[in-house]
Amino acid sequence: MKLAIHHFESVVSTNDLCKHYISEGAGEGAVILADMQTAGKGRHGRVWASPVGNLYTSILLTPSVHDNPPPVKAYAQLAFMTGLAVLKGLELLGVTGVQLKWPNDGLINGQKLFGILVECVDDAVIVGIGINVNHAPEGVGQETTSLAALLGKEFDVADVFHAVLKSFWQFYRQWIAEGFNTIRTECLPYTRGLNSEMTLGDKTGIFTGISDDGALLLTTSDDVVHAIVTV
Ligand code: BTN
């Protein structure tokens, strides 16, 4: 797989630019990297603070072009896979102790280090990754941290980008070739809140696992297992 990396000083949102690339005919392996975003997007229409010094990238995937493609409903697996891939890429840079908070957060000591925004356009998937490299934005509704704060030194964003992208492609190829099972097994020890009580939307129960489709399994007190795809 050949990657086509497009690097910009400033964009509105790398995910939105990636959508534009799809409309222009771009295929799997297009990667947008930006030094800053003027309107970076989080989940649920939230703003993703995007100053220079942190990492903003979006990766275009078309799982359906592969042999035995995973069904579209399995694309929820990609958020977990991406979280694990980012975590493993960061480990190579000396960052340990990251926890994955379903479905898309990377936390250290409960503070947000990275976020993932997966969007689908027909059967193409855009995986947007934002990592707090040198800044931990404040006033974003939750506690944040950065690689620089954690390790006490400035990071070159390019080093983080290459480590994360390499890890991402390794996991993506594994997902395409082998499916979700081994990735899920690898994710579980890093998953925050497993076997604990949690409330998602209007349901409170025990987080008992991750389904074959990548949904969070919430077992409520009536012993019903709810597969929750996104909240
Ligand atoms: C979240 O935690 O709510 C998801 C945050 C995702 C942010 C990244 S930064 C790169 C890509 N472009 C965007 O506009 N958003 C994602």
Q: Please indicate, yes or no, whether residues 174 and 67 belong to a single structural domain of this protein.
A: yes
pLDDT attached to residue 213: 81
- If one counts the domains in the chain, the total is 2
Domain span at residue 206 reads: 193-231
Which atom of ligand 1 is closest in space to residue 42's alpha carbon? 3
pLDDT attached to residue 90: 97
Q: Please indicate, yes or no, whether residues 107 and 208 belong to a single structural domain of this protein.
A: no
CA distances from 42 to 114, 117, 199 (A): 11, 7, 21
Q: Please indicate, yes or no, whether residues 221 and 145 belong to a single structural domain of this protein.
A: no
117-160 tens-digit pLDDT: 999 998 899 999 999 999 999 988 889 999 999 999 999 999 99
Which atom of ligand 1 is closest in space to residue 50's alpha carbon? 9
CA distances from 110 to 11, 66, 79, 143, 218 (A): 29, 37, 19, 8, 21
pLDDT attached to residue 52: 98
Q: Reply yes or no on whether the pLDDT at 183 is more than 70.
A: yes
Q: Please indicate, yes or no, whether residues 186 and 197 belong to a single structural domain of this protein.
A: no
Give, for ligand 1, the residue of 6, 55, 56 to mutate: max count of ligand atoms closer than 8 Å to Cβ: 56
pLDDT attached to residue 73: 72
Q: Please indicate, yes or no, whether residues 122 and 80 belong to a single structural domain of this protein.
A: yes
CATH number of the domain where residue 200 is located: 2.30.30
Q: Please indicate, yes or no, whether residues 165 and 204 belong to a single structural domain of this protein.
A: no
What are 166's two structure tokens?
């390499």
> How far is the centre of ligand 1, averaged over its atoms, from the C-alpha of 119 (Å)?
10
Give, for ligand 1, the residue of 82, 104, 129 to mutate: max count of ligand atoms closer than 8 Å to Cβ: 129
Q: Please indicate, yes or no, whether residues 177 and 198 belong to a single structural domain of this protein.
A: no
Q: Reply yes or no on whether the pLDDT at 230 is more than 80.
A: no
DSSP-derived pairing of the beta strands 4-11 and 30-37 = parallel
Q: Which protein residue has the closest C-alpha to ligand 1 atom 11?
A: 128
Which position has the higher pLDDT, 213 or 47?
Answer: 47
Give, for ligand 1, the residue of 19, 37, 41 to mutate: max count of ligand atoms closer than 8 Å to Cβ: 41
Q: Please indicate, yes or no, whether residues 183 and 78 belong to a single structural domain of this protein.
A: yes
Q: Please indicate, yes or no, whether residues 47 and 106 belong to a single structural domain of this protein.
A: yes
What's the average model confidence in pLDDT over 50-78?
Answer: 89
